[in-house]
Amino acid sequence: MPAWESHNPTPPSLVYPPDGLGKWFARQGLPSTRIEIAPNGKTVCIAEMRGWLRSVAEKCTEDPDWHYFLVLDPEWLDSLGIPFETFLLPGDLLDNQGFSTPAVHGEVEGRTRRAHYGEAILHMELDGWQRVDVTRGQPPKPDDWICTNECNDHQTYWPYNPRNPKPGDPALARGQYVRVVGSLVTDSPHMMSDQFATNLVLRLGYDVVVARLRDAELVNLFTLGADPGGAEAAARARADAAEFNAVKWLWGPNQSQEDERHPARFHEIHSPDYIEVLPPKAAKETVRVIAVVAQNGLSSGDVEEISVKIPAPNRPSQWHVLAHHKLLSANTIASTVLTDEVIPLADGIRVRVRVQGEGGMGANGKFFAIYRVGWTLQRVVVVRAVDSRQPIDVLELPAQAAGLSIATEFIVVLWNAGPAAVTITEVAIQQDYPGIFQLGGQGTVVPAGATVNLLGTFLPPATLPGPFPANPPYTVEARVTFKTDDPQHDRLDLRLTGRTLGPPLTSTVAIAPAEIDFGQVNIGNGIEREFVVRNTGRHDITIEAITIRAEAPAGQFRLYTRNPGQIVPSYSTGRVFAYFEPTQHGSATAEADIAIASRSIAHPERTVLPVKVQGRGNVNLRPDDKPLR
């Protein structure tokens, strides 16, 4: 038997490992997984996943394979230390969204064609022997693969019964909570079919392609003497398939579908070695996935958007409060996101996302995020005052002069909303500037339904090392973590923020030059110049956004970075590029704000660097011409 659980001593994950050549790749780099080498030398990633069966195939495919679809359990991924936003790819949603329930599709309030929504679903595929698809070879039949069924008239052999893998367990069925151990792979995006129609969709758009394909179908049907009524349906079916391919291509433009890093690849357990039915488990969270891609363009890119209402599961009790988290994937291009809005509701959240592709044939707009909505049992909370029941997660302190010998005292009020006493077992403070905040309370017992006061002090030093802004008051912050003996919710976080009236300091973030003059540029030509962002602080900074706040005339300038969300390490420089491409004669100016964030212990500190660009557009000049005045 292998070193992991398997129904068969010869596990299918090793008989048919991923080829590693473009069709399938072993998913590597994830915690709580193991890498094995198959007998043919191929790499295999063995992983255990848990979740709820959404679909169990009634019969095999011609490959032959047996298919299953699993709704992933977020708690299980958390226990493995696998972040959802690192694990899931846009392709997981694109290829599996058809297995989301009608109720889930009904959560969409409005969307454009290239905005997609669904659940976090994992495809599972069990290989049978002998194979028609020989991409991974045709090894001899394992002697212990003896299970057959009606598949291929009992000529297909399985490592176990695909419908009921574990003796003593019930047959697999929709809704069961199961654990699966097997080969975790990413599969090809499958986007190369009908490239003619796909390219038409990318160049002309869906509606134009439907019309052209319908006309072509009508000609064919007329020639064949068939009923022309089917032309519209045939044209839309072909255009829909081409649009699906186009969306995958837009997620990884100019990337081969055999590229292991292609965002439109999707995960599979292929093959599962072990499937066990576990006791029923109710989902404690609603997990939803949003993927929006917007095509770039010459002058401006397309805009794609979606609005959804994500419901929380049933609230377990009055002691539970709504909790929601947005997990933003690295596949998002922040500079292309126009709207990224989460609105808490009484029983869920409303999400609005709007994305635009860049002009000048720049980047496609991309947004990919996972949303987790549920309830958390939070007995002990920080409240605004002794007689208040309004929870807070930020406590703002009055401004304090720097360098004083006597600290300012403050009170943190804890309220126990639960039915039993809770003990504060630890009070930990993380702060950028040690010693500014101090807070006691370790060992404090908070009786049920009661409040207690914890005494703290705020004493900023005479000088602060930044990072910015350059003029006081400076905001200093700390994160306080209370550990408790509450078995359901054993920690509580509070952010302390206070202003210190210190002396002026030199900003650790600067940009040069502050203004760029492009001079005279012929209409139709373009020139690129650069601003240099210098970081002399002790934290990395991120160029979060670049916003043109005033431009006359409009559409003459673009400001951008080569890498959206560019990080400038401490004591390093980064670059912001300005591009002037006049479309009309005369002077043009623009003023822009470059938003910078610095990662500190408590939260990102932000500043804005203003810049200005100007230039003059001229009609095309010969060397001996004089500019128009």
Kindly report the CATH number assigned to the domain that includes residue 479. Answer: 2.60.40.10
Let me know whether 164 and 16 are in one domain.
yes
Please report which confidence band the pLDDT of residue 407 belongs to, taking 50, 70 and 90 as the band edges. Answer: confident
Please report which confidence band the pLDDT of residue 463 belongs to, taking 50, 70 and 90 as the band edges. Answer: low
**Phi and psi for 376 in degrees, rounded to 5?**
-125, 135
- According to the model, what pLDDT value does residue 14 have? 97
- According to the model, what pLDDT value does residue 216 have? 79
302-311, 569-578, 579-588: range with lowest mean pLDDT: 569-578
- Residue 450 pLDDT more than 50? yes
β-strand partners of 320 = 377
Let me know whether 527 and 466 are in one domain.
no
Domain boundary among 326, 359, 377: 377
| pLDDT (tens digit per residue) in 116-143 | 999 999 999 999 999 988 888 889 999 9
Q: Kindly report whether the global pTM for this prediction surpasses the value 0.75.
A: no
504 vs 610, residue with greater confidence = 610
Let me know whether 166 and 30 are in one domain.
yes
- According to the model, what pLDDT value does residue 64 have? 95
Determine, yes or no, domain membership for 109. Answer: no
CA distance readout (Å), 94 to 114, 118, 119, 291, 598: 10, 9, 10, 8, 35
Name the burial class of residue 601, with classes exposed (0-12), middle (13-18) and buried (19+) by CB atoms within 10 angstroms of its CB: middle
Determine, yes or no, domain membership for 439. Answer: yes
Determine, yes or no, domain membership for 629. Answer: no
| Interaxial angle between packed helices 206-224 and 231-251, expressed in degrees from 0 to 180 and rounded to the nearest 10 | 140
* Sequence-ordered list of residues with C-beta below 8 angstroms from that of 240, at least 6 positions apart, any chain: none
Let me know whether 372 and 301 are in one domain.
yes
Once rounded to an integer, what is the mean pLDDT over residues 376-401?
78
Domain boundary among 353, 377, 401: 377
Domain that residue 24 falls in:
12-100+116-190+259-276
Please report which confidence band the pLDDT of residue 599 belongs to, taking 50, 70 and 90 as the band edges. Answer: low
Determine, yes or no, domain membership for 108. Answer: no
| pLDDT (tens digit per residue) in 331-369 | 999 999 999 999 999 899 999 999 999 999 999 999 999
| pLDDT (tens digit per residue) in 79-97 | 999 999 999 999 999 999 9
- Residue 378 pLDDT more than 70? no
Q: How many domains does the chain have?
A: 5
Let me know whether 477 and 550 are in one domain.
no
Once rounded to an integer, what is the mean pLDDT over residues 240-253?
96
Once rounded to an integer, what is the mean pLDDT over residues 274-284?
96
Let me know whether 471 and 560 are in one domain.
no
- Residue 629 pLDDT more than 80? no
Instruction: Round the average pLDDT of the chain to a whole number and report it.
Output: 89
Sign of CA dihedral 576, 581, 586, 590: negative
Let me know whether 429 and 532 are in one domain.
no
Domain boundary among 445, 477, 501: 501
Residue 137 one-letter amino acid: G
Name the burial class of residue 186, with classes exposed (0-12), middle (13-18) and buried (19+) by CB atoms within 10 angstroms of its CB: buried
Determine, yes or no, domain membership for 111. Answer: no
Distance of CA 88 to the CA centre of its chain: 8
Confirm if 312 and 373 have CB atoms less than 8 A apart: yes
Once rounded to an integer, what is the mean pLDDT over residues 600-622?
75
Once rounded to an integer, what is the mean pLDDT over residues 194-201?
93
15-29, 276-290, 584-598: range with lowest mean pLDDT: 584-598
Determine, yes or no, domain membership for 485. Answer: yes
